[in-house]
Amino acid sequence: MNVVCLNCEAVVRTNDPRVKFCGKVCRNRWNVKKTRSKPKKEKVGIESLREMIRRIESKPKLVKASIVQQTYQKDEWVDPI
């Protein structure tokens, strides 16, 4: 079975139908090319971080409510029925 290498477009004779590259070098070059073609993430600047902190600090503060702890009788519990 003949296979065309995805990287160098050379024709390679193989018995395995899953083969896509002529060798390890072509496979590595293909993966490096694919990885480098991905869009880069934007770096967050210091000014945008400061703006985020200002927005968080400008929000109204939350007031914590205290929950009264339930009290249980210390005597033995009696069934009301």
User: Whole-prediction pTM value?
Assistant: 0.48
pLDDT class of 79 with cuts at 50, 70, 90: confident
Question: Is 15 a domain residue?
Answer: yes
**Which element (helix H / strand E) includes 50?**
helix 46-58
Question: Is 80 a domain residue?
Answer: no
CA 25 to chain centroid: 30
Question: Is 68 a domain residue?
Answer: no
Question: Is 65 a domain residue?
Answer: no
- Per the structure, the count of domains in the chain is 1
Residue by residue, DSSP assigns 16-27 as: -TT--SSSHHHH
Write out pLDDT tens, residues 21-63.
Answer: 999 999 999 999 999 998 888 887 888 889 989 988 888 777 7
Q: The domain containing residue 56 runs over which residues?
A: 1-60
Write out pLDDT tens, residues 17-31.
Answer: 899 999 999 999 999
